[in-house]
Structure 1
């Protein structure tokens, strides 16, 4: 068993450092729970890409997208990363993007509470999107 944390990537080195600290924090409890090693991969070209990890993977792999919304990267790049990770025989199970998890939503609301005043909604130029 292996866990792969999939992030967008950034040319800013602080981004990779923060994500590596996150990987380190979750790797020990995951290993203790029998989930095996935890790796970090990037959608963009700023670090290890999924196809670079693929050769060393076998068995069950859990792919956890470190994305805040179920937008383009979740719909297009995450499935592509899963295919790349499975290219050499690993069985990849993708879990929902981190931002789509209910506990993440609850935590973000506690850190960034709604303003005390109610704002009027106005139409957006994007269908299905309302600005506040």
Structure 2
């Protein structure tokens, strides 16, 4: 049996992955999927990509201490990469050894969020795509 040579997917196929795929999303995905690591986008450049900049603006957390409520409305920070005093750790996963324990941990987290006065996540109205999320 004769095999046809492998044909890489086209850009159009990447746009068909989601009805909400934007040019920026597909561009970043293409840069990240480059096989040769020397030609692939670096982590620093990926984090500075316009797609992620928009995401930081769109989904900036209201639990932060850098945004403030003013009489005129919410004042959002322009610094979306604040300094973290402690490195991230996965130790919270050590106790998640079964589906039941995951469910219990998730339930506890949700209940704690409901008891607090914090808003866990907001959509920044200064985001370029805010209107598409507020419909």
For the aligned pair, the TM-score class normalised by the smaller chain equals: under 0.3
Instruction: Please give the TM-score of this superposition, normalised by the length of structure 2.
Output: 0.21
By relative contact order (CA 8 Å, sep 6+), the higher-ranking structure is 2
* Greater share of residues in strand: 1
